[in-house]
């Protein structure tokens, strides 16, 4: 059986996006930074947690999170993937993109990648 995608959302992701994804895919393994006990953690620690848990990180922090993820990749540290959602992306579009990714791709498709949504 193919591995299922798991997500971690950082503190910058609007709760409406998380709620919408969970409504569409109630069985999807998506955890917020708050639920994981990562509130107020630095970006590097959130990225490290995501890597250890093999969770693709979703963030709306398109500036510093991208920098920290790029630095992580440059130093050869693993990263299950990072999706950056600019604040200008409507909530419904963000939900649709995440649902599509979860339903139509495999976790390995995103290893060591940084992508902006919508794709």
CATH architecture of 6-116: 3-Layer(aba) Sandwich (3.40)
- Residue 1 above 50 pLDDT? no
Pairing, β 56-59 against β 6-9:
parallel
Q: What percent of the chain has pLDDT over 90?
A: 95
Q: pLDDT (tens digit, 9 = 90+) per residue, 57-76? A: 999 999 899 999 999 999 99
pTM tops 0.75, yes or no: yes
Q: What is the mean pLDDT of residues 7-21?
A: 97
Per-residue pLDDT, 2: 59
Q: pLDDT (tens digit, 9 = 90+) per residue, 17-50? A: 999 999 999 999 999 999 999 988 999 999 999 9
Distances, alpha carbon 45 to alpha carbons 7, 69, 82, 83, 119, in Å? 16, 11, 14, 17, 26
Picking from 98, 51, 99, the residue whose alpha carbon sits closest to that of residue 72 is 51
Per-residue pLDDT, 3: 72
Domain extents in the chain: 6-116
Distance CA 92, CA 62 (A): 19
β-partners of residue 6 are 29
Q: pLDDT (tens digit, 9 = 90+) per residue, 77-94? A: 999 999 999 999 999 999
């Amino acid at each position: 059986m193919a591995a299922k995608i798991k997500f971690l959302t950082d503190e910058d992701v609007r709760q409406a996006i998380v709620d919408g994804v969970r409504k569409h895919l109630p069985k999807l393994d998506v955890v917020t930074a708050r639920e994981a006990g990562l509130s107020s953690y630095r970006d590097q620690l959130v990225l490290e947690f995501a890597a250890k848990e093999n969770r693709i990180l979703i963030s709306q922090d398109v500036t510093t999170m991208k920098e920290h993820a790029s630095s992580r990749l440059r130093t050869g540290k693993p990263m299950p993937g990072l999706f950056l959602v600019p604040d200008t992306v409507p909530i419904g579009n963000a939900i649709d993109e995440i649902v599509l990714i979860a339903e139509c791709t495999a976790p390995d498709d995103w290893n060591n990648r940084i992508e902006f949504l919508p794709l």
